[in-house]
Structure 1
Amino acid sequence: MIYQLCYRFWYLSLVACMRNSSCAWQHVPWPLEMEYDLNIVNGKPNAADHNPFEYHFSFDKQDTVEIYLVCVVFYGCVLVPLQVYAACRQIHPITRLFTATLIMQLAGLLFDTLHLLVFSFDGEGSEGVNIVGDLFNILAQSLFMMLLLLLAKGWAITRMMLSRRLLLFSLWGLYSILILTLYFWNMMEVDVIEDIDEYQTWPGWLTLALRVLIMVWFLFELRNTMMYEHNTNKLHFFLHFGAASLVWFIYLPVVALIALQISPLWRYKLLLSFTYSADLLAHSFMTYMLWPERSEQYLLLAYEADLSNELDEFNEAPHVLNHSDSALLTPMYNCDTDPLKINT
């Protein structure tokens, strides 16, 4: 007989009961207090291939520490320093908003990674740190969506005034509220024993449906902006920006539908990997497009007027050098006489 090793979920239940004289289980009515300490781990403690980042995690949560560490290194060592440098070189509201998005994303990753590292050693972690990290991630996702909607309307690129502000902020606010509702619903209402993920609840379906609706409105606004714009560089920016943003909008509903067919043992890691990979690619693309040498071709930048060079060139002009100062200061029109006098 061949024994096939497969992964399973195991659950432990403690019941206040005992065996009676007939060896049958019966409830214990006495008010007993029991103290116990359970250390449930995944694997053999003394195994040679013992991995500290997997020992306290169930199989569906293993390898998540490595995913977070890769994201922290990429954001902390590449994206955030580059974007902070770009924001210092180019003072612009779009650049500042995107910089804030990346900082929020990095903060969320740092808090979540800290929780997982502590959990990998004591099996408990820090629930408060984990919640703070998740809230930072939600805020980063919300700010990034706001940035995409503002760019689709051509704000600070084609025009400085926003049209249909109420609709814009209403959709953005509703989506942000649904994300928060989904998070707390999944944390408090969904039982860990249930074979579902966060997008198989009614807040999850509402969030995905609203995301698709916002994507359609995003394409509508982007089309109107491109029809209004005639600058070639700006049109090229909107074309590439629209294609990349469309992928970011649509990936989550598609992955959520695919996850329905995936085993619960792999579902969480699939959603986590795709989510952070898509966000990382979208943020990398936006960093590339908003780099100062490139973005100055299409962003509306405000420069302080310095006319000193123009005045120097004017003073060195031939008609200034060949005429006396008094001639230049003589008015072209004499108010005391009717004919127009031109000084030569």
Structure 2
Amino acid sequence: MEVQKEAYDAHCHDSGPEDFLRRVPCPKNQLCLDEDNPTHVVSGTQLTYAVQDINSPRFWYLSFVACVWNSSTCKWQRSNHNASLHYQLTLVNGDPSAADHNPFEYQFSFDKQDTVEIYLVCVVFYGCILVPLQVYAACRQIHPITRLFTAVLVVQLAGLLFDTLHLLVFSFDGEGIEGINIAGDLFNILAQSLFMMLLLLLAKGWAITRMMLTRRLLLFALWGLYSILILTLYFWNMTEVDVVQDIDEYQTWPGWLTLGLRVLIMVWFLGELRHTMTYEHNTNKLNFFLHFGAATLVWFIYLPVVALIALQVSPLWRYKLLLGFTYSADLLAHSVMTYLLWPDRSEQYLLLAYEADLSSELEEFNEAPHVLNHPKDTTLLTPLCDTESNHSTLLKIHT
């Protein structure tokens, strides 16, 4: 056993360099028997492990085993002592007696350090820039595409706020608020799902080239399947993946299915976008589809590429790599969409409902001596022309 070769024991292995072993149960309100130097024990505790890995970080685990190192034979044997253990273990990164702890590192494992800063940066960008701008745009331009994208950003911000709150609490007590964390993750999943739906609708030219959707069943089937898979991946990673295993969420079968379906949806997206552009002749709309397609293609492909790269990255850095790339790509994609859907620009290619109040002009027109008054049940059809899209709308006016 590797532990036996390295662990110090006063009777059987006094040359061991590492102070690994503690015998339990410890005497009530006293130090454990293996704590022979009380000055090395943190005040208010019965045992203390001091780990010093200054040059290279690594994972450390605590294990309870029902066996004992026999001091007479120096062999491991099963313990027949029946006991009910009540314990509370606190693991921190740093010396508890020191006063200069970094609050964003002290309570966190090395692979989770610096994640608070990532969330705080995202909250600032979404909460102070993107969401206010998009809410303002939605107030200026009432359109289903604008409203859907506004919902995406609001839900994304809600998820970030919940996750950030959990991490801030965790940085102080080492526990956080698990319910808030789960709620934040679910909001993030919902935001990703809604954004995927928005991209698929735009690829089909909905509310830009046409208002009627074709092959709706296939569209909603792909979207629904992807949403179910990312939700399954989240709960699978939370319940089935052991933290001791050297894998991330995308190295499980739900993860591979999610990545594969994402690539499949990307191919379908490109096909639909090409089909939409084939039947579009408006220059402004074609320019929008070109910029939209290029930006969306990057968003689709980044996750499979990053997941493959993460296979070659140490687990100590893998989580931060995936988290940083994911939120950076989402932030970039949302910023590009905010730019493309800004009212002054999007009114050139979105199908907008023009409202005109012609009541006063019609009254003057009807009172003119050369105009015959129509019966009350007569309906006038007045064409409203859109010079950009070459479409016309018949406005019914009851007189």
Note whether the superposition's TM-score is higher than 0.5.
yes
How many residue pairs were aligned?
321
> Structure 1 247/309 Cα, relative in aligned 2: closer, same or farther at 3 Å?
farther
Q: Aligned residue for 2:29?
A: none
Whose helix proportion is higher, 1 or 2? 1
Structure 1 residue 169: deviation in Å? 0.3
1:18 counterpart SS class: strand
- 1:92 is matched with which residue: 143, 151, 158? 143
- 1:129 is matched with which residue: 145, 156, 180? 180
Q: Does 1:12 align with 2:62?
A: yes
- 1:257 is matched with which residue: 308, 313, 326? 308
Structure 1 residue 291: deviation in Å? 1.1
Identity %: 83
Structure 1 residue 46: deviation in Å? 4.2
Structure 1 residue 34: deviation in Å? 1.5
* Structure 1 residues 205-262: Cα deviation after superposition (integer angstroms, max 9, x where no partner): 1100100000000000000111111111111111100000000000000111111111
Q: Does 1:286 align with 2:337?
A: yes
Q: Does 1:161 align with 2:212?
A: yes
Q: Does 1:66 align with 2:117?
A: yes
Measure the CA separation in 1 of the matches of 2:111 and 2:83: 36
Structure 2, gaps ≥5 residues long: 1-52, 375-399
**Where do residues 168-179 of structure 1 align in structure 2 (5 Å cutoff)?**
168-179=219-230
1:77 counterpart SS class: helix
Q: Does 1:188 align with 2:235?
A: no
- 1:207 is matched with which residue: 238, 243, 258? 258
**Structure with more contact order per residue of length (Cα contacts < 8 Å, sep ≥ 6):** 1
The one-letter amino acid of 1:120's match is S
1:217 counterpart SS class: helix
Measure the CA separation in 1 of the matches of 2:371 and 2:158: 64
Measure the CA separation in 1 of the matches of 2:175 and 2:119: 18
**Where do residues 289-328 of structure 1 align in structure 2 (5 Å cutoff)?**
289-308=340-359, 311=362, 325=369, 327-328=370-371
Measure the CA separation in 2 of the matches of 1:88 and 1:328: 40
- 1:111 is matched with which residue: 144, 162, 181? 162
Measure the CA separation in 1 of the matches of 2:344 and 2:104: 42
Measure the CA separation in 2 of the matches of 1:330 and 1:63: 76
1:131 counterpart SS class: helix
Q: Does 1:26 align with 2:77?
A: yes
* Structure 1 residues 80-116: Cα deviation after superposition (integer angstroms, max 9, x where no partner): 1111111111111111111111111011111111111
1:139 counterpart SS class: helix
TM-score, normalised relative to structure 1 = 0.88
CA contact (8 A) 2:366 2:372 kept: no
The one-letter amino acid of 1:97's match is L
CA contact (8 A) 2:366 2:373 kept: no
* Structure 1 residues 101-138: Cα deviation after superposition (integer angstroms, max 9, x where no partner): 11110111111111111111111112211111111000
1:297 counterpart SS class: coil
Structure 1, gaps ≥5 residues long: 332-344
Structure 1 residue 306: deviation in Å? 2.0
2:246 counterpart SS class: coil
Structure 1 residue 314: deviation in Å? 6.3
Measure the CA separation in 2 of the matches of 1:289 and 1:272: 26
